[in-house]
Amino acid sequence: MKFVVFGSLGWAGSRHVNALVEMGHEIVALVDPGAGCAAQAAKVGARACASIDDLDFDSFEAATLALPPHLHPLLTRRLALAGKHVMCEKPMAPDTAEALSLVEFAKSVPVTIMPGYLLRTNPHIRGFLDALRGMGKVRRVHISTNVRKPSMAGWRSEPIIGGALLVNAIHQLDLATWFVGENLLPRFAQLDNVHFEAPTEDLFFTSLVSPSGVTATVLSSWSPNPPICDDGLMITDAGRLRIEAETDEGSIILTGTGYRKNGEYIALPGVVGVNQFIKELEHFVDAIETGSPLWVTVEDNYDVQKLIDDCRAAAIAPAGRVAKRVA
């Protein structure tokens, strides 16, 4: 398939480029105003463009977007209206109202629009969920990420579009909703600066409850010295995702090679070292080519952006930030 990658020089966009190259897809253009775009494009045989306006719209079928989130909605719309399939990184919009309007928009266009919640397509997570679903009624889920950050710099700590909640916990809130299979509402939430003096929180914690009484707790922390343990899944160059759950038939914990169910270690084949971006893009292409249903939808993106709003509204003492370290 012929692709264009937007934000190709960034953390996520460069991974889209590498994944597409490894998968053997043709990248016809890279769109990034950054200085290294021409060199990056030359390496993969693509054109370098500073803006969407420089693209030849007849030359590609699909695009991936990995941009500061406020740029996602307009580009998603322009591309989809031109008949291009779009894989847009999470969050698809800077706020819930725009996320909701994208749900209606996605229904109105005959192309595939998929949000980039790559854990939904990760075989390790899918294998864990299959096992969890075979263990009777779920009572409690805990999902946490600890990400190493030497400092808080760039757009990731800017108000509105940054912070540990919107940038990282968004994945865990999506997983919690998916695992529990019901809407979740926060009993309380905490957004604080534990390590860094910064405009947005470096710690997010919430306890959520579903209508049937399932509890899901979510922790997302950015710190210079994250506690890394053996159980869990590496999702960044320096961080750890940990998942544990209790059901009527016991407990289950995500491990580095699969999961541990009631004390028994189960290895999942082919999950160690898996390239999550390749798995995500394989699913995107498969959905386009076969018309099979997406494992994660624009509506799922809205649900998680709405839950983020609910958590902000439920935050206790939001002004009570205590910064112990200056970034």
Ligand X SMILES: NC(=O)c1ccc[n+]([C@@H]2O[C@H](COP(=O)([O-])OP(=O)(O)OC[C@H]3O[C@@H](n4cnc5c(N)ncnc54)[C@H](O)[C@@H]3O)[C@@H](O)[C@H]2O)c1
* Residue 167 binding ligand X, by CB under 6 A: yes
Residue pair 256/246 in contact by the 8 Å Cβ criterion: no
Distance from C-alpha of 95 to C-alpha of 88, rounded to nearest angstrom: 15
Residue pair 142/216 in contact by the 8 Å Cβ criterion: yes
**Touching ligand X, residues 120-139 (CB under 6 A):** none
Residues 6 or more apart from 181 whose CB is under 8 A from it? none
* Residue 7 binding ligand X, by CB under 6 A: yes
Distance of closest approach, residue 178 Cβ to ligand X, in angstroms: 15
Strand order in the sheet with 85-89: 47-49, 26-31, 2-6, 62-65, 85-89, 113-116
* Residue 308 binding ligand X, by CB under 6 A: no
* Residue 32 binding ligand X, by CB under 6 A: yes
Instruction: Give the nearer residue to ligand X in terms of CB position, either 247 or 276.
Output: 276
Of the residues 5, 31, 219, 285, which one makes contact with ligand X according to CB under 6 A: 31
Residue owning tokens 């710190």: 223
* Residue 13 binding ligand X, by CB under 6 A: yes
Our separate counts of H helices and E strands in the chain read 9, 14
Per the structure block, which two tokens stand in for 183? 């809407």
> Which string of DSSP letters, residue by residue, matches 257-276?
SEEEETTEEEEPTT-TT--H
Distance of closest approach, residue 7 Cβ to ligand X, in angstroms: 3
Instruction: Give the nearer residue to ligand X in terms of CB position, either 10 or 73.
Output: 10
Stretch touching ligand X by CB under 6 A, among 28-36, 262-270, 292-300, 306-314: 28-36
Instruction: Give the nearer residue to ligand X in terms of CB position, either 252 or 298.
Output: 298
* Residue 79 binding ligand X, by CB under 6 A: no
Strand order in the sheet with 185-192: 185-192, 203-209, 215-223, 138-148, 239-247, 250-254, 258-261, 264-267
Stretch touching ligand X by CB under 6 A, among 3-11, 96-104, 204-212, 218-226: 3-11
Distance of closest approach, residue 266 Cβ to ligand X, in angstroms: 25
Type of residue numbered 172: Q
Stretch touching ligand X by CB under 6 A, among 60-68, 138-146, 254-262, 307-315: 60-68
* Residue 12 binding ligand X, by CB under 6 A: yes
Residue owning tokens 């749900």: 103
* Residue 90 binding ligand X, by CB under 6 A: yes
Distance from C-alpha of 326 to C-alpha of 316, rounded to nearest angstrom: 23
Of the residues 94, 115, 116, 232, which one makes contact with ligand X according to CB under 6 A: 116
Distance of closest approach, residue 61 Cβ to ligand X, in angstroms: 19
Distance of closest approach, residue 138 Cβ to ligand X, in angstroms: 25
Residue at shortest CB range from ligand X: 10
How distant is the alpha carbon of residue 80 from its chain centre?
Answer: 21
Distance of closest approach, residue 154 Cβ to ligand X, in angstroms: 6
Residue pair 260/252 in contact by the 8 Å Cβ criterion: yes
* Residue 201 binding ligand X, by CB under 6 A: no
* Residue 38 binding ligand X, by CB under 6 A: no
**Does the CA dihedral 283-286-287-292 come out positive or negative?**
negative
Question: Residue 174: phi, psi to the nearest 5?
Answer: -65, -45
Distance of closest approach, residue 48 Cβ to ligand X, in angstroms: 11
Type of residue numbered 124: H
Instruction: Give the nearer residue to ligand X in terms of CB position, either 155 or 295.
Output: 155
* Residue 94 binding ligand X, by CB under 6 A: no
Footprint on this chain of ligand X (rule: CB under 6 A): 6-7, 9-13, 31-34, 66-69, 71, 89-90, 116, 118, 155, 167
